[in-house]
Structure 1
Amino acid sequence: MKLLVTGRDGQVAQALSKCASDTVEIVCVGRPELDLLDPASIKTQVEAHRPDVVINPAAYTAVDKAESEPELACAINRDGAGYVAEAAARIGVPIIQISTDYVFRGDKPSPYTEDDATDPQGAYGASKLAGEQAVAAANPTHSILRTAWVYAPWGNNFAKTMLRLAGDRDVVRVVADQHGTPTYAPDIADGILAVARKMLAEKEASDWRGVFHMTNSGATSWAGFAEEIFARSSERGGASAGVEPITTADYPTPAKRPANSRLHTAKFTNVFSHTLPDWREGVIRFCDQAHGKTRD
Structure 2
Amino acid sequence: MSLLTVGSVAFDALETPFGKTDKIIGGAATYITLSASYFTKDNNLVAVVGDDFPQSMINDLNQHGINTEGLEIRQGEKTFFWSGKYHDDMNTRDTVEVQLNVMEHFDPIIPDAYQDCQYLMLGNTAPAIQQKVIERLTNRPKLIVLDTMNLWIDIANADLMNLLKLVDVLVVNDEEARQLTRQPSLVKAAAKIKEMGPQTVIIKKGEHGALLFQNDQVFFAPALPLAEVFDPTGAGDTFAGGFIGHLAKTDDISFDNMKRAIIYGSAMASFCVEKFGAERIMNLTDEEIKSRVDEFVKLSAFGL
Normalising by structure 2, we get a TM-score of 0.39
Q: Comparing both structures, which one devotes a greater share of its residues to strand?
A: 2
Normalising by structure 1, we get a TM-score of 0.40
